[in-house]
Structure 1
Amino acid sequence: MDDAGLHVRLRTYEGRPAAVAGTGRDPVNAPMIRHWCEAMGDGNPAYAGPDAVAPPTMLQAWIMGGLGGHAARSRPYEELLALLDEAGCTSVVATDCEQEYLRPLRPGDEVTFDTVIESVSERKTTKLGTGHFVTTRTDVRVGPDLVGTHRFRILKYAPAHGRSRKPRELRPRPVVNRDNAGFWEGVRDHRLLLQRCTACAALRFPWLPGCQSCGCPDWDTVEASGEGTVYSYVVMHHPPFPAFTESAHAADAAGPYAVGLVELAEGVRMISNVVGVPYDKVRIGMPVRLEFRRYDDELTLPVFKGVTV
C-alpha cells in the first residue's frame, strides 16, 4: 500500500472513539492535590483548606490509567495502532498535549471521560524517522458537565536507519526566554540566582513574571548558597539517550542516571542531575552541593553532587 492509500485508510479512523465511558481511578482528593503541590513547590492557598480546588495542571492525573492501562480503550484505536505497526511505524513517542479548563475540580468530584481519535496526519519525516502524528481528544466530565478537554499527540514512526551522527551527541538546549534569561546569565557566570519578590520577599524558582504568593510583578535576585538536600528523585533507565549516557564526565557516563528534585537551603526546589555518587546510592534527604558543569562549548548546567557522610 502506498503512502496515499495508507493515509486514506488511516483517516477512516478519525472521529471514532479511542476510549468510551472511562472513569477516573480515584475521585479528586486532597492528598493527591497536596502531594502534587509539594512536588511542584506550589503554595497557592487556593489548593488547600475546606474550599480547595485542584490545580488545573492536574487534569490528566485524574484520568490516567496507571501501569495497567485503561480498560476503556476502544477497538478502533487498537486497530489504528496495529495498522501503523503493519506499515512499519513500530516506534512511538509522545510529542505534546493541549488542555482547556472549563471549571475547577474539587475534592469529591468523580470524573468520567470519553476519548475520540481527532486526527491522523499525512506521513511526516522527522529526525527520529518517518511516520504519522495521531491526535486524540479527551472530554472530561463531572456528571453531565464538561470540565476540561485534553488533547494528546503521539508520533508513530519507523525509526530512521543509517543516519550520520556527530561523534558525540549534544544535550538539548534549554529554552531561554524573556522571563528566565537572567537565570541563564547567572549560570553562565557560575551563579545560581533565585528571584525574590520585592513586595513580600518570597523566593521563587523556576523564574516567573510575577510572584505566586502575592502577585507583585516586581522582583530582584539573590544568589543561592548551593547547599541542599534531595527532596525526591527518579532513576532514568530507558530509553537510553546518548547525550546523557555518553557524558563528557566519566563518572556520569554509561548506564542509568539520577534526576533529583533538590530542596535548596533557601527553601525553593529545582530539578537537576545528582552526580558524583552511583545512581543506586542516591537517597531522599541526601545532602548535595551545587556544581557547574560544562558539557560542550556552549552549554554549562547547574548540577548537584551528592555528599556522602
Structure 2
Amino acid sequence: MTAGKASAEAGVDEDVSGDADELYGRLRAYEGRPAATAGTGKDLVNETMIRHWCEAMGDTNPAYTGPDAIAPPTMLQAWTMGGLSGHTDRSGPYDELFALLDGAGYAAVVATDCEQEYLRPLRPGDRVTFDAVIESVSARKTTKLGTGYFITTRMDVRASGEPAGTHRFRILKYRPAKAGGKPKGPAGVARPDPVVNRDNAGFWEGVAAGRLLIQRCGVCAALRFPWLPGCNTCGSPEWDTVEASGEGTVFSYVVMHHPPFPAFSESGEGGPYAVALIELAEGVRMVSNVVGVPYDEVRVGMPVRLEFLRTGPEARLPVFRSSAGGEG
C-alpha cells in the first residue's frame, strides 16, 4: 500500500545555467550516498505513543487498540525521528550536502511532500531500525518561494529485523525570492501561502469561496479532517463534503514565542501568538489561529467562530475569533 503523493513540484520551472550547472554537478555527486546508517529508533513501538497519535488525529480505528493492536501505518516515520535531542546517526555526506547548498546561498528549507510504502504492520514492542540514502537531487527549479533544489531522501525501515516500510521525504533547499509583489497581511507583513496539493485542493477551493468543508466518508459517513485520500474508520476512498457551521471551541493551544514571525502576530512586530487546535461543532479538529484576543487570554474551552482572513487579492485563510461574552 502506498500513501498518496503530493504534487509538490507542480508549477515549477527548471532553471539550469552558468554557475548552476557546476553546482548541480557537485550536488548530484551525493546521490546514492548514505544520509543515515544503522539508525535505531529512540523508543520501542509502544501503546502510549499510538494512543497520543490517535487522539491527536481523531482516529478511532479499533485496530489501534486492544491486545492485538498495531500502530497506524502513517506513524512509520514517527519511530525514527530524533526529537528535540536531535539525531545521532546522520551521515557526513548529508551534512556536507546541506553545507554546500548553504554556502551557495540556498539556505532556506521547506518540506514539500513524502511517500510511504507499508510492508509489515508495526506492533508494540517492535524495535525500529533504519538506513537512509540521498536518493536524488533535482535540477535547479524556480518556485513561488524562490529558486532552489529538491532533495529526496529514502529511508528503509525495519521492525525487529524485518522490512516494515519505505519512507521518501522531499524538501526544497532554496534562495528566497525577493519581496515585492507578494500580498501583505493585515500587519503589512507577507504571510506564507498554504501548500495546495491534489489531496487538499478541494478544501482550499472551499476556503476561496468562503466555505469550510469537511470530508465525509461515502460508505460509513465518518467525518475527517485534515483532508485525506481514504477514510480512517473503514478505509473507503469514496467521499463527499459537508460545510462546517463555523462554531467551535479551543481544544488545546500553544503560544509561539520563537522564532519571531511578524506575519502571524496581530501587531506585526513578531511578538507571541497563539496557535490552537479547534474542535468544530461537527466533532473534527483543525489547527488555526485565534484572533481578536490577546495571546495570553486564549483558554481551553473558549468558544470561537470561524472567519476568513484575507492575506492578498486572491488569498484567504480560515481563522477563529473568540465568541466568549459576545466579543467581536
User: RMSD in angstroms over aligned alpha carbons?
Assistant: 3.5
Q: Distance in 2 between matches of 1:209 and 1:7?
A: 35
After superposition, the Cα gap between the structure-2 partners of 1:11 and 1:268, relative to the gap in structure 1 and judged at 3 Å, is closer
1:287, distance to aligned residue in structure 2 (A): 1.5
**Structure 2, unpaired ranges of 5+:** 1-17, 185-189
> Quick check: 1:2 aligned with 2:19?
yes
Structure 2 match to 1:286 = 301
Structure 1 match to 2:289 = 273
Q: Distance in 2 between matches of 1:48 and 1:102?
A: 20
Structure 2 match to 1:248 = none
Contact 2:59–2:233 under 8 Å retained in 1: no
Contact 1:18–1:116 under 8 Å retained in 2: yes
Q: Which amino acid aligns with 1:80?
A: L
Contact 2:207–2:317 under 8 Å retained in 1: no
Greater shift in the superposed pair: 91-100 or 55-64: 91-100
Q: Distance in 2 between matches of 1:137 and 1:291?
A: 39
Contact 1:274–1:305 under 8 Å retained in 2: yes
Greater shift in the superposed pair: 294-303 or 255-264: 294-303
Task: Give the number of the structure with larger relative contact order, counting CA–CA contacts within 8 Å between residues 6 or more apart.
Answer: 2
> Quick check: 1:145 aligned with 2:139?
no
Q: Distance in 2 between matches of 1:208 and 1:153?
A: 19
State the Cα deviation string for residues 205-239 of structure 1 (Å, max 9, x = none).
4567876545785878586471x332222334447
Contact 1:188–1:300 under 8 Å retained in 2: no
State the Cα deviation string for residues 259-288 of structure 1 (Å, max 9, x = none).
2111234433233221222223323x2312
Match of residue 83, structure 1, among 96, 100, 104: 100
Structure 2 match to 1:54 = 71
Contact 1:232–1:261 under 8 Å retained in 2: yes
- Within-5 A mapping of 1:13-162: 13-161=30-178
Contact 2:213–2:242 under 8 Å retained in 1: yes
1:99, distance to aligned residue in structure 2 (A): 1.2
Q: Which amino acid aligns with 1:18?
A: A
Q: Distance in 1 between matches of 2:183 and 2:208?
A: 26
Q: Distance in 2 between matches of 1:122 and 1:219?
A: 38
3-state DSSP of counterpart to 2:124:
coil
Contact 1:180–1:207 under 8 Å retained in 2: no
Contact 1:288–1:304 under 8 Å retained in 2: no
Contact 1:187–1:302 under 8 Å retained in 2: no
3-state DSSP of counterpart to 1:106:
coil
- Within-5 A mapping of 1:194-209: 203-206=223-226
Structure 2 match to 1:230 = 250
State, as a whole percentage, how many aligned pairs show the same letter: 62
Q: Distance in 1 between matches of 2:143 and 2:74?
A: 29
State the Cα deviation string for residues 109-145 of structure 1 (Å, max 9, x = none).
1100111111122232333333322211111101332
Q: Distance in 2 between matches of 1:123 and 1:222?
A: 41
Greater shift in the superposed pair: 88-97 or 176-185: 176-185
How many residue pairs get aligned? The number is 299
1:15, distance to aligned residue in structure 2 (A): 1.1
Greater shift in the superposed pair: 73-82 or 174-183: 174-183
Q: Distance in 1 between matches of 2:199 and 2:152?
A: 31
Q: Which amino acid aligns with 2:169?
A: F
1:252, distance to aligned residue in structure 2 (A): 6.5
Match of residue 261, structure 2, among 240, 246, 266: 240
State the Cα deviation string for residues 152-208 of structure 1 (Å, max 9, x = none).
1222223344x5324524663685989985996599466x66667798675544567
After superposition, the Cα gap between the structure-2 partners of 1:147 and 1:239, relative to the gap in structure 1 and judged at 3 Å, is farther
Q: Distance in 2 between matches of 1:92 and 1:39?
A: 26
Q: Distance in 2 between matches of 1:157 and 1:302?
A: 28
After superposition, the Cα gap between the structure-2 partners of 1:144 and 1:126, relative to the gap in structure 1 and judged at 3 Å, is same
3-state DSSP of counterpart to 1:76:
helix
